[in-house]
Amino acid sequence: MQTQPKHIVAIASGKGGVGKSTVTMNLAFALQQQGLSVGLLDADIYGPSQRRMLGVNPEITPEQEGEKWLHPVSVGGIKAMSMAFLTDETTAMVWRGPMASGALVQMLEQTLWGELDILLVDMPPGTGDIQLTLAQKATLAGAVIVTTPQDIALIDAKKGIEMFRKVDIPVLGIIENMATHVCTQCGHEEPIFGRGGGEQMADQYEVDVLASLPLSKIVRETADAGVAMLNEAPEDPASRGFQQAASALWRSLCAAQPNAGPVITMGDD
C-alpha cells in the first residue's frame, strides 16, 4: 500500500518569473541537509523544469512497478517526480485542463514516495485547475507563496493567498525572492525590484516572511547547471537564505501541527 508523505506543502506563486521553481529545488536540499527525508513533485505539467535543475540525465526515466506504480528518481537524497521524466524535454503538452489535472493526480498518487517527512510540490503559476486539483486530492499541510518585492508580483501573490484561504489551506509563510542585489565589484546593495513589499503583504495577511533571498548570479548558474547550490556554495548569502527558509518552514509546520517532529534551529557556528 502506498505510504503517504507526512506533510505535503505547495510552493506557489501568483505569476511566473519570480523564481518559484528555483526556490523549491533549493528549499528541498536545505530541508534534506537539516536531516529531513524530502520529496519534490514538479506539478507544472506544461512547463516542467525540475529535470534540468536537478541535473537528471534525459535518458533516465522512473522505474515502473506493476502496471500502476512508479518509483521516484533519487537525486542527492531527494526523491523527485516530474512530467519531464516521462516525456522528451522538447515535447509540448498540448492538453486541456482536465488532462493536466489527471496527470498531476497520477504522479501524486501513483508514485511510491516511501517514508517522507515532507513533500514539496512545485506548483505552476496562477490559480487554475492544477491548484484546485491539488487542494481536492491531497491533504496539504499548507502553502508557501514565492514573490518578488515588485508591486506587480505582489498583486498576483495576494491572489494566490486568497485562493488557498478559500479552499481552507493555511499559508505557512512568504519567501521574498530577488529582494536585493549586491554588486560583486563594489559591494553596493540595491533593492532593484523595490523594498519591503513582502513584509507589507505578510503583515496584511498575518503570516511570516520565511526568508528574503538576494538576486544572485550563482543561484541562476547552479540551477542551469543542475547542481545544488547549497553544496556548491554553502556560505553564499543565498544559500544561507535557503537554510533560513527551510528552518522557518519546518517551525511553521510544527506550530501548525504539534506532532510534526523536532523543531530545526540554525546557529552561527
> What's the number of domains the chain is made of?
1
209's grid cell: 516572511
pLDDT at 118: 97
Does 171 score more than 60 pLDDT?
yes
Does 267 score more than 60 pLDDT?
no
For 198-231, the pLDDT digits (tens) are 888 888 889 999 999 998 889 999 999 999 899 8
Considering only 113-117, 168-172, 193-197, which range has the smallest mean pLDDT?
193-197
Type of residue at 230: L
CATH of the domain at 23: 3.40.50.300
pLDDT at 110: 93
Grouping H, G, I as helix, E, B as strand and the rest as coil, residue 145 is strand
Q: What is the average per-residue pLDDT within 226-250? A: 93
Asked if residue 68 is part of any domain, the answer here is: yes
pLDDT at 1: 52
Does 75 score more than 80 pLDDT?
yes
Asked if residue 2 is part of any domain, the answer here is: no
Between the alpha carbon of residue 69 and those of residues 39, 66, 72, 117, the distances in Å are 16, 6, 10, 21
Asked if residue 262 is part of any domain, the answer here is: no
pLDDT at 100: 83
Cα-to-chain-centroid distance, residue 192 = 23
- What are the start-end ranges of the H helices in the chain? 20-33, 50-54, 97-109, 129-137, 151-166, 197-205, 217-225, 229-232, 237-256
Distance CA 253, CA 236 (A): 26
Better-scored residue on pLDDT, 265 or 111 = 111
Exposed/middle/buried for residue 92 (C-beta within 10 Å: 0-12, 13-18, 19+): exposed
What does pLDDT average to over the chain?
86
**Can you give 15-44 as a three-state secondary structure string?**
CCCCCHHHHHHHHHHHHHHCCCCEEEEECC
Asked if residue 195 is part of any domain, the answer here is: yes
28: domain range? 8-256
Type of residue at 167: V
Q: Which H or E element spans position 173?
A: strand 171-176
Distance CA 42, CA 89 (A): 14
pLDDT at 135: 85
Asked if residue 14 is part of any domain, the answer here is: yes
Asked if residue 269 is part of any domain, the answer here is: no
- State the number of CA atoms in the 13 A half-sphere of 72 facing the CB: 27
Q: What is the average per-residue pLDDT within 81-98? A: 79
Q: Which H or E element spans position 46?
A: none
Grouping H, G, I as helix, E, B as strand and the rest as coil, residue 119 is strand
pLDDT at 38: 97
For 26-45, the pLDDT digits (tens) are 999 999 999 999 999 999 88
Q: What is the average per-residue pLDDT within 59-74? A: 92
Asked if residue 267 is part of any domain, the answer here is: no
Asked if residue 13 is part of any domain, the answer here is: yes
pLDDT at 257: 67
For 140-163, the pLDDT digits (tens) are 999 999 998 888 888 888 988 999
DSSP states of 54-84: HT--TT--PPEETTTEEPPEEETTEEEEEGG
Better-scored residue on pLDDT, 182 or 59 = 59
